[in-house]
Structure 1
Amino acid sequence: MSHTAHIRSHRKPRRSASTIAMRAGVAGGVLSTLAVAGASGSANAAEPVTQTLELPTLTADLAAQVAQSADVTQQAAASYQLQAERDAAAAKAAKQAKTDLAEAKKKAAEAKKKAAEAKKKAEEAERKEAAERASRAAERTTLSASSDTGSSSTGTDSSTSTSTSTATGSAAAVVSFVQAQVGKAYVSGATGPSAYDCSGLVQAAFKQVGISLPRVSQAQSTAGTQVGLDNLQPGDILYWGGAGSAYHVGVYVGGGMFVGAQNSSTGVVEKPLSYDPPSGAVRVL
């Protein structure tokens, strides 16, 4: 045995290459980790950390509430719009109503003015007609009085007047004559040619055709055959008052018209029968 066999060697045992490589790998990995960590720490130190908030997830009930709220908002907006439209329509209608009212008031004022003018004209016409009636009545009273004074001297003429025959065309001649006298003056007791009273005009007209009539209206009203007012012919003598007591006479000229010496206001005129409806008529032609 060697004298050195029992002495332990101070030399370390040899490690295998794989072990050395593994240790080197581990060490490198550790260093790499540290390097990354260091770099990460430097980066974290340089940049602020941003925190992310997670939004709550909508549940079914919350979604329904949101939808309902949206509907309510939409309905409110529609209601406001409808109200605005109604307000605008009401304002327009009020403005139109105001305009219509003003127009109606204007038309009413015009109608009132026209009615007042028409009433005034009607009153004037009525006053004029009343004055004419009064004048005719007064004139008839005068004629009646004058006829009474002359009745005794003309009483015999009535019998001869009915016996006098007429020639063909005499009625036309009588009508033509009296119409030619229209516009001439009325003078009580006048027999022409520039002025007449009522019986003087009738007497002068029939004298043109050869018929002699009494001078006064009372006698002239019975000088011929009595005829109805619905059966008149041109040339018939019209009278006012009773037959035999007439206070006014005239000549029917046809077409619902007569000619008479009415009064001092009108003179000899041609008027419709409605102007002064007669009481009766006699026919001598």
Structure 2
Amino acid sequence: MSHTAHIPSHRKPRRSASKIALRAGVAGGVLSTLAVAAAAGTANAAEPVSETIEMPTLTADLSAQIAQSADATQQAADSYESRAEQDAAAAKAAKQAKEDLAKAEKKAEAERKAKAAAAKKAEEERASRATERTTLSTQSTSGSGATASASDSVAPASGSVGTVISFLKAQLGDAYVMGASGPNAWDCSSLVQAAFKQAGVDLPRVSQDQSVAGTPVSLSNIQVGDILYWGGAGSAYHVGVYIGNGQYLDAANPSKGVVIQDLSGYPASGAVRVL
């Protein structure tokens, strides 16, 4: 036996395999823990970077939203402006329509008054002519026989019909000449035309046209101043003017000239009224 066998050895004791394995496991665990911690720390440290990377995306989305909001606001403003313009146009149109209506009503009222005045005047003229015809008819009774001379005639009352009759009687005794138009010779139609022209009535020149120039009246209802015609309406061959009391005045023919005659001796075919 060695003399040093009882002395403890200064050499480090050999570790057993189990202890080594245990320590290695502990070390590995520690290292794993550190690795996990480091990874966590790295992850935590990377979070701000991740947020910084995502910011452009968030900013782009926000810009799009703002742009959409701006477009919506502009559309609303445009719609409001358009509505305001439409309302203004409608108000202007309504005002104009009101003014037009007032003008139309005023014009219609003026036309109604004018028509009423014209109707009243026409009625007064009809009444005046009726009175005049009655007077002329009464005056014509002073003449007798189939013919009369200018000295036998009585001056008619004033007025359009009276003017016609007065002119006709002033021509009594003038000659009858076919185609003549006065002042001292006439044919039947030229005498009638000239007489009514004195009253402001323009008649056609020939008998055929004069027979349809006015309003047709029956022979039973003829009045002083009515035009009498012989032959058919539109194809008459002779005309004269009724002067009342069954008599008419005409440019008869070359042998008689301008005379007053009785209808009973030479009945007319028809009559028209122009006054």
Considering the TM-score relative to the shorter chain, is it more than 0.5? no
State TM-score, norm by structure 2: 0.43
TM-score (normalizing by structure 1): 0.41
Larger radius of gyration between Structure 1 and Structure 2? 1
